[in-house]
Amino acid sequence: MNLEQKFIVLREPHTSEKSTILADKLKQYAFKVSTDATKLDIKNAVEAIFNVKVEKVSTINVKGKSKRFRGRPGKRSDWKKAYVALQAGFDLDVASVD
């Protein structure tokens, strides 16, 4: 898997109140990832992009909400969220990508 494919696996960092607390206290970082990405794909992508060692990856499939678009019922897209725990001694700054 080349670097371009690894950026396709990791779509963007997911920021929320929970993800900020986990990043500060437990060194666990949340990402929106491709829906067909496996835990091993996510681990390899994070290690290659950020030059860190990953201890554990947990994934969650998030179902899209039912919404109305111009008065008609519709549905937002489903997406996948990954929580990545780093090994001791490593830190991740999602604002700077090498």
Position 97 scores a pLDDT of 62
Position 54 scores a pLDDT of 97
Position 28 scores a pLDDT of 95
Position 3 scores a pLDDT of 84
Tell me the per-residue pLDDT of 17-62, one tens digit each, with 9 for 90 and over. 999 999 999 999 999 999 999 999 999 999 999 999 999 999 999 9
To the nearest whole percent, how much of the chain has pLDDT over 90? 84
Contact 30, 37 (CB under 8 A): no
- Burial class from Cβ neighbours inside 10 Å (0-12, 13-18, 19+) for residue 46 reads buried
pLDDT at 98 over 90: no
> Domain extents for the chain?
3-66+73-86
Which of the four CATH numbers 3.30.1360.10, 3.30.70.330, 3.20.20.80, 3.30.870.10 does domain 3-66+73-86 have? 3.30.70.330
**Sign of dihedral through CA atoms 43, 45, 46, 50?**
positive
Position 92 scores a pLDDT of 85
Q: Are strands 10-13 and 79-86 parallel, antiparallel or unpaired?
A: unpaired
pLDDT at 15 over 80: yes
